[in-house]
Each structure stands twice: as C-alpha cells, then as structure tokens.
Amino acid sequence: MKKNNNNIFNWQADRSKYPELDKNGKPIVDLASHKYTKIWQGPNHPGVTGNMSLELTLSGDEIVDAKTHVGYLHRGFEKLMERRIYFKGLATSIRMCVPEADSNEYVYSSCVEDLANIEVPEMALWLRTLALEMARLQVLLRTVPGQASTLSLGLGGQWGMYIRDLILDRFEELTGGRVYHMFIIPGGVRGLLPDGFKKRMEENLKEVDEFVEKIEDLIYSNSIFKKRTVGVGVIDPSWVSKYGIVGPNARAAGFKRDVRKDYPYLKYNELDFEVFTATDSDIYTRNQIRKQDLITTVDLIRQILAKMPDKGELRAKTPNVLHWEIEKGETYQRSESSRGEYGMYMVSDGSKYPRRINLRGPSYTHAVSLLEKMLINANIADVHSIMVSLQTCPPEIER
Amino acid sequence: MKSIINDIKTRFEISDIVKQRDNFNFLTCKKEQTVSLITHLKNIEGFSHFVLLTAVDWIEEGKFQLTYILNNPDKKIDIGIRTFIERETATMDSAHHLWEHVATYQRELKEMFGIDFPGSPRVDESFILEGWDDIPPYRRDFDTKKYSEETFFPREGRTTNDPTEYMKKKLYPDEEK
Amino acid sequence: MSDINNNTNNKEDKFLAEENKKRTVIGPDGIEFEIDPLKDYFCDQKPEVRDPKNKVVEKFINWARAESLWVLGFGTGCGSIEIPPLLTPRFDAARFGVQMRATPRQSSVIIISGYLAVKTLKRVIRSYEQMQSPKYVLALGSCTINGGMYYDSYNTINRLDYYMPVDVYVAGCMPRPEALLAGFNKLKERIKAGRAEGANEYAEKFDWYKANQKKIIKDWNMPDYNW
C-alpha cells in the first residue's frame, strides 16, 4: 500500500502470517492459534475522534480485520423529537452533531419550511449563509491542522484551536453562544449583525490567512508528515458510489461533488467559488482538499459580508409556534457540511409533532462500512490518522 | 425526470407520485418489486448514490413505511421510494448487495424498529444499544418518558411545563381554545 | 443486598459474553484446565476506605494533590468539545496544574462531559474504578445533574450521583471553558479542605452504587470491581 521510495520503509509483510479468506472475502481468524491479537481502540482512547471504538484484529502490527462499534453517544434523538413540538425540536436537533451545529439547524429549519411552504426573506438567507460558512470555517480550523496532531505534531492543532476560538468569539457576538447557536430558526434567523461585526470579522480573517500561510511551512513541508500521509489510507475511486462517499473524501478521489454547487441552496448561486478536486485520494490529498476548502470559505465569508444588505426582514410570518400544525407530507433537505452531504428526512402527519425525523450524516457511511474496509492491511500506527482524515463524527452516526 | 418516471411507470406498479421539488419525486412501490426497482434505477438510470434508508411507523394503519432515497449525481436528481410492509411480520427483502452501506442501515432498522432483513450481513448483531430487552425503541408504542422515569432515578424538583399550556395560562388567560 | 455482588454465579446471565463464560481450555503445553474468566483474570478485592493517620501530613499532601490535577482524556459527551480550547494558550488550564492523561492509572480526575448513554456508563465505571485513589469526578452540563434536555430519553442516565460520587457539578449546556476553570478551582478548594472524599464514599456505599449500576446496565460482562 505504501509507495515510499526509501528502502527502510519498503519492507514486505510476511504474507504467510495472513489468515485465509472465506468465500465472502472475510479473513478466518482463529484467536486460539496465538498468531493474532485482538485489541480495542476506544472508547477511552485519546486517539479516537469522539466516542467510538474499533475492534482490531492484528497480525504483527498489520490489521487483518476491523469492526466499528458505535452507540456510546446514543441519546435517541429521533424518538425524542417525535415528542417535541416543531419549535422545541430545533433545540434538540442541533445537538445531533456537536462540532458543526449550524448544519443541523439549517437542515431542520429548511425541512419545516419546506413542509409548511414558508418563504424565507432575503436578509435571512444571507445571514444563514454567513452562519453556515462561519461554522465550516471553525470546523476546518480544527481539523486541517488537527491532521498533524494525529502524527504527534501537536503545535498545528493547538494553534488552529486558538484561531478557531476567534471565530467562536464572532459567533458569540452574533448569536450569544459559542458552540450551540440556535441562530437559524424555522422561518428565518434570530438577529442582525451587531455593529462593527464586519470590521472585527475582517481582522480575524486576516489572522486565518496568515495562519494558512504559516502551516504551509509547519505542516506541509514537514518530511515526517509527508512520509506518514502520502500513499496511506487510499480510497479507490470505484468505492465512491459503492460506499456512499461524499464531500471532501469524494472530491479527493476525483469526483466533483459539492451540494453548494450541485443543488444550490440559500445564496450560494450568487457567490463565486470553485470546487477543487484531486486524484491521489490519500490522507495528504484529503487534507490538501480541506485546506483548499478553508481558503474558499474565507473568501466566501468576505464575499457574503460585501454583498449582503444592511437591513431587511429577518423572519417570515409563521403561525403561532405553540399551535403550529403541519399537514401531512414528507421531505428531504440537504446541505454541505464540512464533511460532505448532510441531510434530513422529515415526515409530518398533520399534528403538532413530527412523525419521523431521520438524519443522514456523512460519518454514517465513512466511519462504519468504509473505515472497516480501509483499515484492512493498514498499519496500526496509521489507524488514527486514517480515521481523522475521514473526519468521522460519532454523534451523527448513532444520534 | 418526467421521462424516467414515465418509463418506470410502465415497468413497475407504482402509485402516489408526489413532486416535492423540480428534481425530487416521491413514489410508492409494491413491497415485492421495491428491490428490483432500486436495482433498475441504479443500473439503468444512473442513480448511483444511495442516500438513506429509513422507516416510519404508521401504527394506526398497522404498517411500516420504508423510504429509500436515491440520488443521481450526474443529472442531479433524487427519487424517494416508499414501500409499505406489515407491522406484524415486519420483514423486507435485503438490498445489501447493491451498496455496501445499505447493510448498516438495515442493521440499525433491525435493532431500532425490529424490521428483519434476512440475509443482510451482521444484521442480528447489536449496533447502537447494548443489552436491550424491551421492545425496539423507535416503535411508536414504546413510551420513552415512562421507561426513563422507571429506570433512571429522576431527580426530584424538576418541573416540566408544556409551553402551550403554560403560556396560555400566563399570557392569555382569557383566550378560549 | 449481599447477593448483588456475585450475580454472575447465582443466575444465568443471558447477556454474558462467550469469552467470559466458564470453560475448559488447553494451554500451550497441552494441559487442559478450567477457567472462570470473571474470577480468575481479575483481582476480586473490594475497595477499602482509606483513613489518613496524620492529619497535618494529610493537609500538606492534599495541597500537593490539588495543585496537580491530571485529567483522564475520555470525552464522554458533547462537553468534550470545550476541553481542547481549555488547553490552548488562551484559557491555559496548565497554569492550574491541569493536564490531560491518556490512561486511568495516571489520572486523578475524570470529567464526565455531559450526558451518559448506558453503553458509555459501563466504560466510565470501568475507567473510574481503575483510577487510583484519591480520585475526583467533575460533572459537566445539566444532563449529569437531572438529565437536562434528555430527561425523557431511554438511553441516557438522569443523575450521575447514583452511579459514582460527584465532587463538583458545572452547570450549563454546554459549560464555557471559563466555567470549567471555575469548576477546577472549586475542586481545588474542596481537595485542600479535605472534603473531596469521593473514593472513600464509593468504598463505603459500594453495595448501593453497584445495585444502581446493575439496575440499568443489563449487559454487565465485567467483574464487580475493576482493578
């Protein structure tokens, strides 16, 4: 799998140790033969994103079989939201994926609006676009340099976390919350930009620009980083439709998939941006694609702040939210989160409560079926960086 | 989009076509034909991206609704396929051979709704819950509040007001309804 | 209450995993022998109450303990997203002696960062019992106090103090890093005053805690006390 030219890294695994495969292609592992070791990575493990665990079967230090175990963060949201009126459901929906709560708000609100036929005012659309892009920016500031932290280059992660905090400050100014905002509500948004927001945002964006330039030296010129990421964790382009791969992971494999371009929502068709693709599809490439996303996002925020009107109506007229009954129907709405297509399926039955809500998070496929496939034949030291490069987010798998 | 719908109309028994958006249609298909309809859409019409599979519990009619949403990334159109199965037996043909991640959805449905997909890989392994011995929790007749109160030692002193009643009492005491 | 402690023997446990059942195995040298994994693989001594002899020395040791709080890096809920910013130069938890540690053996504080699903509670108990006493529990968020917004969920616990002794609660959903720092300071005060006796409380009321834990964790599959 590795294609390093250096001889030290060009070793060949002892294939005689490998288990035979059964007719389904699964290895036959006999633990009593003492040839294999079974270890658990997680849930209490510093190298696991969120709270999930991997059951790894090893031969030496190569993985012959992997199973993902989830459910450590299961709160039963889809059940709880059936018991909450539409407006209360918003507060529940945002906790479905913790790092990027705004995508949840948006898909929930747009599902309700689609079912109830509500037109959102112009100004609210701009503010929503701004909130979604800011959310993407803060996630990418955490995860792009976070890839280096998985290889013990912790400085990148720490630094990115500090810059992310500046964006969270702007969020606090705009919405009042650091992590959970509840800014996008069914029918519109909650408030206007505060005075001087644009100026302070521009200052922060300048810091982000500087940071992106500096991690070029810090991370991407680091030979260890390259050695550990180039050619490791490759996603075969033929897997993309087979495993339902979306977002940056699909773009790194050469597929131009971006919900913002393909199914323009909010104000994305009035903004000028490009979708970047690459072909190498390894950890390094996926990280480069995300870095490119980061630069695009900074540019998009500048465009939004320049183009958006100063004043306008914030909310469409909705019925009294306490007696809000939505007639029978079903819908599916999607948005592009930092991890890819993020969608929600909602069924209403004419009462005050939704009948069924189902969330389609990108990690549902990335972290379970795809990760199990990718880890086979990988080295145990690469497990963490492969997992982070897929950007798995456990709370959206089990909800 | 229209031509695709017209084409599959002639081949399969479909009904209740709802145009949700310009590029998104919902339709209902018979249980026996659903997997072959999905196979047809995947192989012939280019719906290569499987978005989601989920179930809705229509307990009043004694039925489960299964919803498959497929996406055609080249033409940028979506199709949602509904199919109804009996709530009593709750068995459906498996579609795990078409996409790898369908098996995960089916595993979740088996655990959370009790819908069986014979032949799907690892469908009987627990996915999210651990040591669950009640009825599947996403079914409508499972009362989560009662279960929580009986099991998890609720702390006394917590009062919950239904916002509708509470605001009516506080803000509009005279209003009828 | 005494029969709770050996539930694995007295009744057929339908969730008992295959590898934890009593069975006969053949060793590498060809000799057959019987094993009972839950009894043989683990030390079955219960936790004991630790009674400091010398109060003056204890006071000094408590001061030292309060100044180096090593936290187990176990993100159990949404609150764990505010812990990485806490370690950055902006909030700088290191100036309070707070550090993250990878294994339970090295750490003295466990942060329960939010709601606990039943599946996680089992792992949390295991991690908590593996920590060396004295050990402290910092509970974040409304959901550890009374269930918060998950009060009616079938899979999250409502109050944490029924399953393990809690020293400090930090309220909020979710608590800000500043609130967490205040929580750490509160914990320090408690330790210095000699009031953070969670480990002793756990040993004293061991049967009660175990009964509560076993009531909700049906798939137990571990020894009664995880050394």
ipTM for the predicted complex: 0.87
Q: Are A244 and B99 a contacting pair at CB < 8 A?
A: yes
- Confirm or reject contact between A73 and chain C (CB < 8 A): yes
Flag whether A25 is in a domain: no
| Nearest C-alpha in A relative to C73 | A46
Structural domains of chain A, count: 1
Of A46, A75, A180, the CB nearest to C115: A75
| Chain B residues lying within 8 Å of C159, measured CB to CB | 152-155
pLDDT of B33-89, one tens digit each?
888 888 988 888 888 889 989 999 888 888 899 999 999 988 888 899 999 998 888
Q: Do B54 and A358 touch (CB under 8 A)?
A: yes
What is the rounded distance in angstroms from the CA atom of residue A221 to the CA atom of residue A140?
19
C-alpha A229: how far from its chain's center? 20
Residue A30 domain flag: no
| Cβ atoms A90, A190 nearer than 8 A | no
User: Is the distance from CB of C58 to CB of C70 less than 8 angstroms?
Assistant: no
Is A13 among the domain residues? no
Taking the whole predicted model, whether its pTM rises above 0.90 is answered as no
- Please name the fold of domain B2-155: Beta Polymerase; domain 2 (3.30.460)
Interface residue ranges in chain C relative to chain B, Cβ cutoff 8 Å: 15, 118-119, 122, 145-147, 151-159, 162, 212, 215-220
For residue A385, being part of any structural domain is answered with: no
3-state secondary structure A161-216: HHHHHHHHHHHHHHHCCCCCCCCEECCEECCCCCCCHHHHHHHHHHHHHHHHHHHH
Q: Compute the nearest-CA separation of A354 from chain B (Å).
A: 11
For chain B, the structural domain boundaries read 2-155
Structural domain of residue A163, as residue ranges? 77-358
Which residue does chain C place closest to B150, by CA atoms?
C154
Whether A179 is in a domain gets the answer yes
**B52/A343 Cβ within 8 A:** yes
What CATH number does residue A97 fall under?
1.10.645.10
In a domain, A2, yes or no: no
For A259-316, write each residue's pLDDT tens digit. 888 888 888 888 888 888 888 888 898 998 999 989 999 999 999 999 888 888 888 8
Answer whether C158 sits within 8 Å of B155, measured CB to CB: yes
Task: List chain A residues with CB under 8 Å of B76.
Answer: 262-263
| Cβ–Cβ below 8 Å for A73 and C154 | no
Q: How far apart are CA A9 and CA A345, in angstroms?
A: 47
Contact assignment for B78 to A332 by CB distance below 8 Å: yes
- pLDDT at residue A299, rounded to an integer: 92
Token pair of B73 as six digits: 């990334």
Task: Kindly give the residue spans of alpha helices, DSSP state H, lying in B2-143.
Answer: 2-11, 34-43, 102-112
Per-residue pLDDT of chain A (399 residues; tens, 9 = 90+): 444 455 545 555 555 556 676 666 667 777 766 777 888 887 877 666 778 888 888 887 888 888 888 888 888 888 888 888 888 888 888 888 888 888 888 999 999 988 888 888 988 999 999 999 999 999 999 888 888 888 888 888 888 888 999 999 998 888 888 888 888 988 888 888 888 888 999 999 999 999 999 888 888 888 888 888 888 888 888 888 888 898 888 998 888 888 888 888 888 888 888 888 888 888 898 998 999 989 999 999 999 999 888 888 888 888 877 788 888 888 999 898 888 889 899 999 888 889 889 988 888 888 888 888 888 888 888 888 888 888 888 888 887
Q: What angle do CA B2, B3, B7 make, to 5 degrees?
A: 120
Distance CA B35, CA B42 (A): 10
What domains lie within chain C, and their CATH numbers?
Answer: 55-216 (3.40.50.12280)
Instruction: Residue A355: list chain B partners with CB under 8 A.
Output: 56
Q: Do B154 and C159 touch (CB under 8 A)?
A: yes
Chains in contact with C, where contact requires at least 3 CB pairs less than 8 Å apart = A, B
* Distant-in-sequence, close-in-space partners of A213: CB < 8 Å, separation ≥ 6: none
- Inter-chain residue contact B131 with C218, CB threshold 8 Å: yes
A91 and C76 within 8 Å at the Cβ level: the answer is no
CB within 8 A of A18, min separation 6: which ones?
A27, A59, A64
Report the alpha-carbon distance of residue A362 to residue A104 in Å, rounded: 13
**Does any domain span residue A35?**
no
* Domain-located, residue A191: yes
